[in-house]
Structure 1
Amino acid sequence: MKNALDSAALETAVENVHRAGIPGLFAEVRDGDQVWSGAAGVADAATGRPVTAHMRHRVGSITKTFTAAAVLQQVESGRIGLDAPVGRYLPKLVPGERGDAITVRMLLNHTSGLAEYLPYAYPSLKAFPALADTGPQSLDDFRLRRFDPTELIGMGVTAPAVGAPGDAPGLYSNTNYLLLVQLLEQATGTTAEQYITRNVIERAGLGNTGFPAGPYVDGPHSRLYEAWFGMIDPPRDYSVYDMSWVGPSASLISTVSDLNRFYGMLLAGEIVSRSSLAQMQRTVPVVSQEGRTIDYGLGLHPMEGPGQGVFWGHGGTVWGGGALAMTRADGKRRMAVAVNMQRWNRLDPSGKPLPHPIDAALAALYSVAMYG
């Protein structure tokens, strides 16, 4: 039988991303029982310490799939209604008519109409998420700042609405998932970190996945280099950062191996029920933080290649780091990739990111990893 994983092609594709300008990256690809893992480049640009495929990494909004799965578990138990108004549970955080009109499902699929809080939490990000005409100074100003999640939610809820509840396309907003964290805590009587750890992370047997206890990443990891559209040159290390700016909706630390295991088990119906998984895979159009319209479910989004079936997963970015994990609907083919630099594109005069060789190299890696 022909080997389903082309190791040479994968190694070349990973190396090409490094050559295109990413300091270091690592990946794992699975096809049935076959597993390939590889890495290229450095974890520390100053010392030349190499990256390895088993490093721990901040995975950003990939955490949203974990949060969504936890909420769906509570829907299964009857403690949360998927189409119930959020005002029933959190009347102080989303008061009045909006609390009556926005449902839990709308938070999960970003059709609530609630604005992104980040421009208000990081004052110099005045054009976030386009980020045009902004400076990187706020990253240093807030590196060790401890944010109160209800304060962040208040910024998003009181900001001008970006749409009417339920309207499509929705707009991707971290405000939605901070509210889901509060909803989880109210329904379970424990912190979201504790609930997700016990009922999602431990249920999936993820030995290298967890929420950070402070601003540091425990265990072997890479430094994270933020380029801020060429405004930070050379890119600066932001691997030490207080992640309360996104809270437990985007602060997980994991490995590419754990991510592949998690999405495989989720799509096999081993984290939530099959009926809950079907709800997670019901998509609506949502405008991403990059300004692209994507199909988005409940903490999941699809990618489809020619004749290769649909893949489900999520991407995530933090200051200096990024990751993408996608698993085919049948669970057999899985890909997880982590990179240690972000915002490498420079901006044109209108604030639009210009193409960069890294973009094409990453697209080629994803294509080889998912479709062979």
Structure 2
Amino acid sequence: MPAAIFVEPWRRWSLRPCLSMPVAVALRVQRRISGDRHMRQLLRVAYLVGAAVLSSEIVSAQSVPPAAIDTSASEADKILATDLVAAVNAGDPVTRTRWAARYHSLRDGALNATDLSKMLGDIGDASRGLTLISTERKNGWLRLDLRAANGKTGKLSLETDGTPANGVLRFNAFARPAPYPAPLIDHPVTRDALRKAIDDRLRFAAGRDEFSGAVLVMRGDETIYSGAFGQADKNFGIPVTLDTRFHTGSMDKMFTAVLIGQLIEEGRLTLDTRLGEILPDYPNADAARSITLRHLLSHQSGVASSFGGPAEDRLRRFERVRELLPRFASKPLDFAPGTQASYSNEGFILLGAIVEKLTGPTYYDAVQSKVFERAGMKDTIYYRIDQVSPLRAVGYRFPDEDFLGFGERINNWTFQGLGYRGNSCGGSYSTVGDITRFLQALRSGKLLSPRMTEEMTSLQKGYSQYGYGFLHRKLGDRSVRGHTGGGAFSGINDIARIVWETGYTVVAMGNYDAPLIEWVGDDVVKMVAAQT
């Protein structure tokens, strides 16, 4: 078997109710321009958020001083970047077409010159005048920090082909948050000092409209910090509260992993159980023979994405997770299981179908009785798209054409990635209190035995900073476990973190695009992880 190729977490996710935000740094989004129709789709690609998390934040001109162009960029990179800004600011199609003809790559699969020209036009329309702040070459991508006339900033990353022409293969883009000017606490402090530091960090972001959501920090029964910012529904002026129910994105993968762990402990499954043993009628016989639960839980299955189908498929009613399998089950695998790692919502849909096969009748019944009730979660629900609730937050996202986040947000009701209903890969609605209760129940052994909990949440080979359905990262000598949820251009972003050694929990849930919550929330996690 060939050596595994690990794809950075921020490089891939499928746009569905799950909307994954695995990890913690910056989920990037790549957009493809579809030629003459000028329609854009989020691409599920093998490359984001290795970091961490999509971006939807903005920066004021005052908070981001001009910076010198990074010396890690080559002269050819600097020329490309300078020419790009000049072509955008020229404001005419002829100049944009000339730049695109000069810099498009001739390689198969690359964006064509028309695509690149339209990209420049969109940036120009949104920016009303563009300034290049800095350039950096990292991991094969040329990263440009850009500022619009209104002071908001974004990051445009270009993958180039390595030829002397420095041709552009594709790009991804996201808005950038204002850098926090104060140092973060990195040592034990009093509770009052910690509360103030957390509150200052959150108010800094909320004051710049970079954060809308709720945050809860606890240790056991002690509430260290709780706060709510922004509006759950801007049309009706409904404020966010601690009882607001936010879309969870991919955080439900933790629930699904727990259900699988319970079945393993009951002796009904093992991590090496093959897909075909449970779903013998699975249409792709090769996948049924070769995919194991271990592959599915660690994003190494190679199951193809179901995103990109007709809208009616994504919005079609269903009551059982297994009803979603026809969308992708007959497709060939993207790679041989166990040879690569690539974030897969479909893998967790398969896990949900396995849960249904062994527990019946539906995934929703199983997760309610075996996870939510055991953890004391009373405010978590899988809304159908036509259900209305005054406690349900409306998501707000940047329009498709404003991929750098220079303009105003719109509501996400037309965002087809929401789907008809959440499922085993993500998409419930919950509160910061309920997600905190889940984390505490997980660590205390209410959901799984200590041995199984450790196995499911510990780092595994495969997806970066990932275990079996759980993110796992190190902060100094601390182990931080949990998950994220959301995506760029979705109006969804959340994080759930528990410092394993000390039991501190940080849950932040919001209704703006990722990675807004991750950047702000991870700063809170860093301060909390430093406490004893």
Same fold per TM (> 0.5)?
A: yes
- Structure-2 change in CA distance of 1:62 and 1:343 (3 Å): closer
Match of 1:78 among 264, 267, 275: 267
Partner of 2:232: 43
Q: Distance in 1 between matches of 2:202 and 2:419?
A: 28
**Whose relative contact order is higher, 1 or 2, with alpha carbons under 8 Å and at least 6 apart?**
1
Instruction: Choose 243-252 or 194-203, whichever is displaced more.
Output: 243-252
- Structure-2 change in CA distance of 1:67 and 1:143 (3 Å): closer
What is the SS of the residue equivalent to 2:238? coil
Match of 1:3 among 191, 212, 217: 191
CA contact (8 A) 2:278 2:354 kept: yes
Q: In terms of Rg, which structure is larger?
A: 2
What is the SS of the residue equivalent to 1:284? coil
What is the SS of the residue equivalent to 1:336? strand
- CA deviation vs aligned residue, 1:95-151 (integer Å, no higher than 9, x gap): 323211111121111111112222x33x6xxxxxxxxxxxxxx6xx88854368557
Matches within 5 A, 1:277-316: 277-284=453-460, 286=462, 294-307=464-477, 309-316=478-485
Q: Distance in 1 between matches of 2:525 and 2:458?
A: 24
What displacement does 1:234 show? 3.0
Q: Distance in 1 between matches of 2:468 and 2:373?
A: 21
- Structure-2 change in CA distance of 1:103 and 1:359 (3 Å): closer
List 4+ stretches of structure 1 deviating above 6 A.
none
Partner of 1:163: 335
Matches within 5 A, 1:257-272: 257-272=433-448
Match of 1:322 among 483, 487, 493: 493
What is the SS of the residue equivalent to 1:296? coil
CA contact (8 A) 1:17 1:362 kept: no
Q: Tell me whether 1:227 sits opposite 2:398 in the alignment.
A: yes
Q: Say what the alpha-carbon RMSD is for the aligned residues.
A: 2.9
Partner of 1:153: 325
Q: Distance in 2 between matches of 1:244 and 1:181?
A: 16
- CA deviation vs aligned residue, 1:75-97 (integer Å, no higher than 9, x gap): 21122232111111112225323
What displacement does 1:214 show? 4.4
What is the SS of the residue equivalent to 2:328? helix
- CA deviation vs aligned residue, 1:159-202 (integer Å, no higher than 9, x gap): 4433211224x111111011111111110121010011001100
CA contact (8 A) 1:18 1:41 kept: yes
Match of 1:195 among 366, 371, 384: 366
What is the SS of the residue equivalent to 2:203? helix
What displacement does 1:3 show? 2.3
Partner of 2:523: 364
Q: Which runs of 5+ in 1 are unaligned?
A: 124-137, 288-293, 345-356
Partner of 1:131: none
Q: Distance in 2 between matches of 1:48 and 1:112?
A: 44
What displacement does 1:324 show? 0.4
Q: Tell me whether 1:115 sits opposite 2:304 in the alignment.
A: yes
How many percent identity over aligned positions? Answer: 26
What is the SS of the residue equivalent to 2:207? helix
Q: Tell me whether 1:342 sits opposite 2:530 in the alignment.
A: no
Match of 1:93 among 256, 278, 282: 282
- Structure-2 change in CA distance of 1:47 and 1:96 (3 Å): closer
Q: Distance in 2 between matches of 1:361 and 1:282?
A: 25
Q: Distance in 2 between matches of 1:194 and 1:85?
A: 24
CA contact (8 A) 2:305 2:344 kept: yes
What displacement does 1:301 show? 1.1
What displacement does 1:30 show? 0.9
What is the SS of the residue equivalent to 2:383? coil
Q: Which amino acid is the alignment partner of residue 72 of structure 1? A: G
What displacement does 1:317 show? 1.2
Q: Distance in 2 between matches of 1:82 and 1:31?
A: 32
What displacement does 1:303 show? 2.4
- CA deviation vs aligned residue, 1:22-58 (integer Å, no higher than 9, x gap): 3512100013442121022222334443211221111
Instruction: Choose 226-235 or 273-282, whichever is displaced more.
Output: 226-235
Q: Distance in 1 between matches of 2:527 and 2:284?
A: 48
